[in-house]
Structure 1
């Protein structure tokens, strides 16, 4: 069985060419060029492609080291899409006294707002691929007419873990990726991000009714069979706080009505094939067990390992090289080649490529304990603290990054009264 290679074609917004025509031209182009994993092609000799195509992305080849594949050796799966330029809009509904209540942010997918987000998320495990496979299985079972009373699935994903590890970003990236990959099935995607904490705390006395009304608004989108609807419930513990606390008298009884309303609405919308509920939580123990039980996937997202941190830093440095802020043309090794090189060579024979790559790996090891959100800030802070000029060399920038990491860890230690926690066995990051 041949390997499947996905080719994502970003058609220009101003292009009016039919998608099947664009696909035909890209198909011919792909059969004559080298397919390298993760590569993004944005320059074309063909006038038609230059006029109508923004980028062609070769993706979902899981090997660490870049591979060059022949088109005849793989099955090519093409996806043509156009990015919506308008971004998120505030959704409101009628509240108490006919006042407008903001309850969510809404955008059309795929959107420029989430462009590149999927690629920026780095994990030690195959969590992104597993989530894509999960959705593919839900569609297969639904299309095949599998009886949900016999085999149960709810189209609910729960991502949990400490703050700053990329849970919300992963939900957005997954929704964007699904809108692209399922473009042959749906005309567009709808992404609805519920701010559950704000909704519940501000309108507490009417919260149960508002939750029901909110899902009624969402169901208007779900009832369009041509739309893939992804509903994100951020900080889901705010809406699904464990009912045992209320029964014990430690939480107001209104929280029971809220949880019951959420569970009832999720049970109602699960019969639709075109909806996916994504939830995040920083405090999993506070979530009602009935909601946790409804989640098909319960994935812990924790701090990154040093090897994942290396890949995050590598992507940041490559971006600064692309923009010319780091002027050195010297490249850094991907993780697999670095591990192979460091095991085969002695210190005296290592070249600058290997030395710089090992230096970055050493910085990554020192960064253990920082969240994914903090790690993405390190290059910016390094330039702000120690560079402060338009261009710099790779070696100078790596030294600045090392100083910045040590400073961040020291500041965190004194600011929060303790040493940053180490990665306690988790194998995925965001």
Structure 2
């Protein structure tokens, strides 16, 4: 294997040396192995496969130790390194191994008691806690997940508090500001744990900030402005801690109060998924369908990186992947939630059997995409 790797490197004169490569190692929940032992065995795995052509993930291992203790080993974020798309030589690269367990208990609710009501004000995750999705909120959760894994040498675990903005408005006049204070007191308790990296996610922040504009226009009671002022005050108090990251999302950017905008270090517009992102979404869905044998027999699908390496030439191996690439291109403009539903709709609308070939399923998926755009057009014409 090592000789073959050496021969391969000689055949690839543009192999990229001396770059930092991140390797994420998902330790099984049942495993009690020491991280150092896992790192040592993962390094042996990487020594045997030291030429990579981009991101790669192992889920099956010849090594019994890895099989018993590791769910997956993933080389990630190589697109940031491969500006010229050359292969990477792991043997000369600086490897950063991040070994982590996933928390599988799911979120808990943070409740605020108001008179006889029990208000769910936020959801609380211990990170890392599972795979991210594709929307703005999911991207924030994915960022929290990634930082928790990458900074595991500094913080033992992450805490994610997703605040339900609407719950902070009390039905009782003058009580809303108190609810905000009570919510952030709970967050402060988490921040005081210096072993925790705490993420505060305020989803749809415009529902808070719009109240401020409405108050100025005379259409919103003074209690609403108390909520916004209380949130701003509490954010200013906790953001000075080194173990806190505050994240917000909004669908209506023009509604965001400038007081919030000025406090943001990074402002990032998130548009619809690109063709490459759509391809990856579809590819993950198809892998799941093949695993469940809804698509049968299993077919090899190439990644976009692998298609690019062969110059997008059509052959028996690449044909289905190129079809998926074309479907991905015509899916541009659809949101992440819709894209993940489309394989289900393709099966429900156009397939009449419990099991189907990949060719037939891709035909159905293409029809489902066409139908989605047709429905969007019809809805737009009705407005």
Contact preservation (8 Å) 1:65, 1:336: no
Cα deviation for residue 389 of structure 1 reads 2.2
Where does residue 153 of structure 1 map in the other structure? none
Deviation per CA, 1:310-333: give whole Å up to 9, x if none: 343233334433443323554444
* CA distance in structure 1 between the partners assigned to 2:83 and 2:321 by the alignment: 15
Cα deviation for residue 78 of structure 1 reads 0.8
Question: Which of 108, 111, 128 in structure 2 is aligned with 1:89?
Answer: 108
Deviation per CA, 1:147-181: give whole Å up to 9, x if none: xxxxxxxxxxxxxxxxxxx0011011111111111
Cα deviation for residue 292 of structure 1 reads 1.0
Contact preservation (8 Å) 1:65, 1:334: no
Question: Which of 101, 118, 121 in structure 1 is aligned with 2:119?
Answer: 101
The 1:171–1:351 alpha-carbon spacing in structure 2 relative to 1, beyond 3 Å, is same
Question: Which of 231, 235, 247 in structure 2 is aligned with 1:266?
Answer: 235
Cα deviation for residue 99 of structure 1 reads 4.8
Contact preservation (8 Å) 1:197, 1:235: no
Deviation per CA, 1:33-67: give whole Å up to 9, x if none: 34643322232333332222222221121149997
Give ranges in structure 1 of 5+ residues lacking alignment: 122-165, 420-430
Cα deviation for residue 201 of structure 1 reads 6.5
* CA distance in structure 1 between the partners assigned to 2:194 and 2:380 by the alignment: 49
- When normalised by structure 1's length, the TM-score is 0.77
More deviation, 25-34/58-67:
58-67
Aligned-partner SS, 2:177: helix
Where does residue 23 of structure 1 map in the other structure? 39
Where does residue 19 of structure 2 map in the other structure? 3
Indicate whether 1:32 and 2:48 are aligned: yes
Contact preservation (8 Å) 1:196, 1:239: yes
Cα deviation for residue 204 of structure 1 reads 6.3
Where does residue 327 of structure 2 map in the other structure? 363
Contact preservation (8 Å) 2:215, 2:222: yes
Where does residue 302 of structure 1 map in the other structure? 271
Indicate whether 1:385 and 2:349 are aligned: yes
The 1:273–1:411 alpha-carbon spacing in structure 2 relative to 1, beyond 3 Å, is same
The 1:20–1:411 alpha-carbon spacing in structure 2 relative to 1, beyond 3 Å, is same
Contact preservation (8 Å) 1:341, 1:354: no
Where does residue 78 of structure 2 map in the other structure? 61
Deviation per CA, 1:101-134: give whole Å up to 9, x if none: 32111121111xx23x2xx64xxxxxxxxxxxxx
* CA distance in structure 1 between the partners assigned to 2:145 and 2:291 by the alignment: 25
Aligned-partner SS, 1:241: helix
The 1:85–1:203 alpha-carbon spacing in structure 2 relative to 1, beyond 3 Å, is farther
* CA distance in structure 1 between the partners assigned to 2:180 and 2:69 by the alignment: 44
Structure 2 counterparts to residues 137-216 of structure 1, below 5 A: 166-200=135-169, 205-216=174-185
The 1:197–1:365 alpha-carbon spacing in structure 2 relative to 1, beyond 3 Å, is same
Contact preservation (8 Å) 2:170, 2:179: no
* CA distance in structure 2 between the partners assigned to 1:40 and 1:338 by the alignment: 17
Question: Which of 294, 306, 314 in structure 1 is aligned with 2:283?
Answer: 314
* CA distance in structure 2 between the partners assigned to 1:311 and 1:47 by the alignment: 30
Cα deviation for residue 254 of structure 1 reads 1.7
Contact preservation (8 Å) 1:11, 1:53: yes
The 1:318–1:5 alpha-carbon spacing in structure 2 relative to 1, beyond 3 Å, is same
Aligned-partner SS, 2:218: coil
Aligned-partner SS, 1:281: coil
* CA distance in structure 2 between the partners assigned to 1:276 and 1:319 by the alignment: 33
The 1:14–1:355 alpha-carbon spacing in structure 2 relative to 1, beyond 3 Å, is closer
* CA distance in structure 2 between the partners assigned to 1:376 and 1:87 by the alignment: 21
* CA distance in structure 2 between the partners assigned to 1:47 and 1:342 by the alignment: 38
Where does residue 72 of structure 1 map in the other structure? 91
Where does residue 44 of structure 1 map in the other structure? 61
Structure 2 counterparts to residues 282-293 of structure 1, below 5 A: 282-293=251-262
Where does residue 400 of structure 1 map in the other structure? 364
* CA distance in structure 2 between the partners assigned to 1:254 and 1:192 by the alignment: 24
Give ranges in structure 2 of 5+ residues lacking alignment: 1-16
Aligned-partner SS, 1:91: strand
Question: Which of 237, 240, 243 in structure 1 is aligned with 2:209?
Answer: 240
- When normalised by structure 2's length, the TM-score is 0.85
Contact preservation (8 Å) 1:247, 1:253: no
Deviation per CA, 1:309-368: give whole Å up to 9, x if none: 33432333344334433235544443356567678x6xxxx4355554443333233323
